A and B are shown apart, each in its own frame.
Chain A
Amino acid sequence: MPATFDDDTLEALLRGDDMALPDDGFCAGVMRRVQADEAERHALTLDATSALTQLDRRAARARRQRRWHGIGVAVGSALALPLLAATPPSLNPAQTLALLAGLAACAWALGAHALQER
Chain B
Amino acid sequence: VSDAAPPLHAAGFEALVREHQSRVRQQLRRLTHGDHALADDLAQETFVLAWRHIGSFRGDARVATWLYRIAYNAFLAHRRSEHAHEPLDAAHELAAQPDGSAAAAQRLDVERALATLPEAERVALIHCFALDLSHAEAAEVLGWPLGTLKSHVARGKARLRERLAAWKP
> B169 contacts A16, CB within 8 Å?
no
Residue A55 is within 8 A (CB to CB) of chain B in the complex: no
B26, CB-defined interface residue at 8 Å = yes
Check A48/B1 contact, CB under 8 A, given A1-B167, A21-B25: yes
The complex places the Cα of A4 from the Cα of B47 at a distance, in Å, of 40
* Distance (whole angstroms) from the CB of A7 to the closest CB of chain B: 7
Distance between Cα atoms of A44 and B48 in the complex (Å) = 17
Does the CB pair B130–A41 fall under 8 Å? no
Provide the B41-61 mask, 1 if CB < 8 A to any CB of A, else 0.
001100110011000000000
B: interface residue count bin: 35 or more
Interface of B is mostly: helix
Chain A interface residue count, Cβ-Cβ cutoff 8 angstroms:
29
Interface of B toward A, CB cutoff 8 Å: 1, 3, 10, 13-14, 17-18, 21-22, 25-26, 40, 43-44, 47-48, 51-52, 105-107, 109-110, 114, 125-126, 129-130, 132, 157, 160-161, 164-165, 167-169
List of B residues within 8 angstroms of A62 by Cβ:
none
A37 touches B1 (CB 8 A): no
Residues of A27-48 at the interface with B, using a CB-CB cut-off of 8 Å, are: 27, 29-31, 33-35, 37, 41, 44-45, 48
